[in-house]
Amino acid sequence: MAPDTHRTFKDALYAQFARIGHAVSTPKRIEMLDLLGQAERTVSDLAQLTATPIKNTSAHLRALRAAGVVETRKDGPRVFYRLADVERVTQLYLDGRDELEPVSARELERRMREGEVTVIDVRPREEYEAGHIPGALSVPVEQLKRGRSAPPKSREVVAYCRGRYCVYAVEAVALLRKRGYRARRLVDGLPGWRDEGRTVAVGS
């Protein structure tokens, strides 16, 4: 992955998070999103359901639409609002950069049990020592970039980091593939592994 390409997508990812955070910064907008999660609504529908003047409702919806959180659909003279796919930018950077599908925690657990993969934790060393997937090797992405701590090539490598929106694993997989490895990433990282009740090891 070229450095300028990496920076472009990373900036787009974090900028989208910032826009979404700003867009949902008021209770009324959160209430509107909750209502739109149930069904499409018109401005007048939302104004009535949230006890908000139509002018104010329209302003809230403009802000949500500008952030990509909601989108519209026309039906004759009526305009309906609905929730948008707010993970578009995330998928473009993360899932969209994987030639192979990311690995789920369940699949990784099975493949580890059968000895099919080498698992690497690409977070900083101190985070690895605070908690990691049992059997995973500590290979911080910065060391990997400098050509240090390279895992063996005999098996497929699965990299993980801080969660679904952490870019360390994406960087690691791109580097490893460039160097001839078969590499994939764990889709939800350590938080997803832990949240499903799996064991987490502590220490070196």
Task: Measure the CA–CA gap between 101 and 34, rounded to whole angstroms.
Answer: 31
Residue 119 · residue 158 · CB < 8 Å: yes
SS3 of residue 178 by DSSP: helix
Tokens 């599908």 — which residue?
101
Q: Which residues pair with 103 in a beta bridge?
A: 186
**Is 161 a residue of the active site?**
yes
161, 167, 169, 174: the active-site residue? 161
Do 80 and 72 touch, CB atoms closer than 8 A?
yes
Amino acid identity, residue 73? R
Residues annotated as catalytic are 161
